[in-house]
Amino acid sequence: MMTNEGTVDRAVRILLGVVLLALVFVGPATPWGLIGIVPLVTGLIGFCPLYRVLGLSTCPVRTPS
């Protein structure tokens, strides 16, 4: 599994995941907040399966030395 998310993308995903999960505990307490697990996990591991399927990557290209 290669990383296909850049730093900003990962930070946004983690923040969004935490906010959505917080809705489960302090907000309207609906199970829809559990959707926050998906962006949280993909942000933490740095890999998005949907990006792979679509051929996208926000990770900067590394040049060999």
Q: What is the pLDDT of residues 4-60, one digit of tens each?
A: 999 999 999 999 999 999 888 887 777 778 899 999 999 999 999 999 899 888 888
Q: Tell me the residue length of the chain.
A: 65
- What local confidence, expressed as pLDDT, does residue 25 receive? 84
Q: Give the global pTM.
A: 0.82
Q: Are 62 and 56 in contact (CB under 8 A)?
A: no
H or E, element range at 12? helix 7-26
